[in-house]
Chains A and B, each alone.
Chain A
Amino acid sequence: MPEPSTLTKPSRPSIHREDIFRRLVDSVTDYAIFLLDVNGNIVSWNPGAERLKGYKTDEIIGKHFSIFYTAQDLASDKPTRELKIAAEVGRFEEEGWRLRKDGSSFWAGVVVSRIHDEQGRLIGFGTITRDLTERRHADLRYRLLIESVTDYAIFSMDPRGYITSWNHGAQRIKGYRAEEIIGQNFSRFYTEEDRAAALPQYVLRTAEQTGHFTGEGWRVRKDGSKFWASVVVTPLRDEGGELFGFSKVTRDMTDRKLLLDELQRHSKELELRVQERDQSNAELEAFAYSVSHDLRAPLRAITGFAEALKEECEGQFSNEGREFLAEITGAAERLNGLIQDLLEYGRVGRISMPLASVNLLDAIHEAKRDLGGLPPGLLTIAVPKELRVRAYPQVLKQVISNLLSNAIKFRRENSSPEVSVVAETQGDTVRLNVRDNGIGIAPEHQARIWNVFERLHDREAYAGTGIGLAIVKRAMARMGGTCGVASKPGEGSTFWIELPQANEK
Chain B
Amino acid sequence: MTIEPIPVIAGEALAKTFRLRQRTVHAVQGVGLAVRAGEALGIVGESGCGKTTTARLLLRLEQPSAGRIRFLGEDITDRHGPALLPFRARAQLVFQNPFDALNPRFTIRRSLAEPLRNFGIPRAEHAERIEAVMRRVRLLPAAAWLERRPHELSGGQLQRVVLARALLPGPKLIVADEPVSMLDVSVRAGILNLLRTARDELGLAAIYISHDLALIRYVCERTAVMYLGRIVEEGPTAALIAAPLHPYTRALIAAVPVPRVAQDRAALPILGSLSATQAAGQGCAFRARCPVAMPRCAAEAPALRQVAPGHRVACHLVGA
Are A and B bound to each other? no
Residues of chain A at the chain B interface (Cβ within 8 Å): none
Residues of chain B at the chain A interface (Cβ within 8 Å): none
